[in-house]
Amino acid sequence: MANPATSIGLPTPRLQPAAVLELLKPVTWFPPMWAFGCGVAASGANLLDNALLIALGVLLTGPMVCGMSQAVNDWFDRHVDAINEPNRPIPSGRIPGMWGLYVAILWTLASLAIGAALGLWGFAATVLAVVMAWIYSAPPLRLKQNGWWGNLACGLSYETLPWITAVAVLGAAAPDAQVVTVAVLYGLGAHGIMTLNDFKSIEGDTRFGLRSLPVILGAPRAARVACLFMAVPQAVVVVLLAVWDAPIAALLVAASLLAQLALMRKLLRDPRGLAPWYNGTGITLYVAGMMASAVALAP
């Protein structure tokens, strides 16, 4: 049967590599890759001796699993994006037909294959990450429909899981309680980062029943909640590092947190307008504190 587009003189839609790369959103790969790097630092592993494992881990956490999660999210959000961001690859038609779903499935399978190369710990973590990505965006669970649970799942997947995975894959022993505690705290703090990302899509989320925190609470209250989620775990990290006899790291994280608090005061004046600005300033300080904590935890 002839292609309908061709029969009426229109060009046949083709999958564009540039559009696929845009679908995978390279700009979002940094957080899980950085978290994996924190795990590498916390493991105390020799970088040269473990270069291949580290390279596979960075590839897995960023371009593969994170890229896959973006493809899954955009496929199941295509109707929302048609309102919020109609120029994205799927609603714009640059990724035609079912190809958005096909890319998500192919990247899922490829991620699992790379995860298997990292051993039992790496494969188990990849399975968990893949499951979290699909239940976050896809029905029937679609965790992102609720800003409390969805942002929690996203924060733990982006920050905590890659950090612990790196330590498990590279460390001489299983991750200890200190590493797990700090990784979980920074994952909880990322809940606030995810809330800031929701300010750009309030209109579409409201129309399609996605109960993000800006929709549930309104922008001013959601911004205050986001700041609390980001600040409180870091304050706990400062106390723990001091108790664990890591005073320099405690001071570095404390200084980072104080600078963030100053930036948060400005953010709260106009959360919708200043959320992108804070992502480029306050979040940079946040992730710097992550690395300082990871180095302090290395054996």
Q: What is the CATH number of the domain that holds 138?
A: 1.10.600
What CA–CA distance (Å, rounded) separates 193 from 77?
Answer: 20
pTM, two decimals, is 0.93
Q: Does residue 218 carry a pLDDT above 70?
A: yes
Q: What is the DSSP string of 232-274?
A: HHHHHHHHHHHHTT-HHHHHHHHHHHHHHHHHHHHHTTSHHHH
User: Is 3 contained in some domain?
Assistant: no
Handedness of CA 104, 214, 193, 246 (dihedral sign): negative
User: Is 4 contained in some domain?
Assistant: no
User: Is 168 contained in some domain?
Assistant: yes
Q: Confidence band (pLDDT; 50, 70, 90) for 174?
A: confident
Q: Residue 7's pLDDT is what?
A: 42
- What's the total number of domains in the chain? 1
> Which candidate, 23, 32, 3, 97, places its Cα nearest to that of 290?
32
User: Is 7 contained in some domain?
Assistant: no
What CA–CA distance (Å, rounded) separates 290 from 297?
Answer: 11
Tokens of 11: 């060009």
The rounded percent of the chain whose pLDDT value lies above 90 is: 88
- Per-residue pLDDT tens for 78-109? 998 898 889 999 999 999 999 999 999 999 99
User: Is 103 contained in some domain?
Assistant: yes
Q: Which domain holds residue 193?
A: 15-297
User: Is 6 contained in some domain?
Assistant: no
Q: Residue 13's pLDDT is what?
A: 63
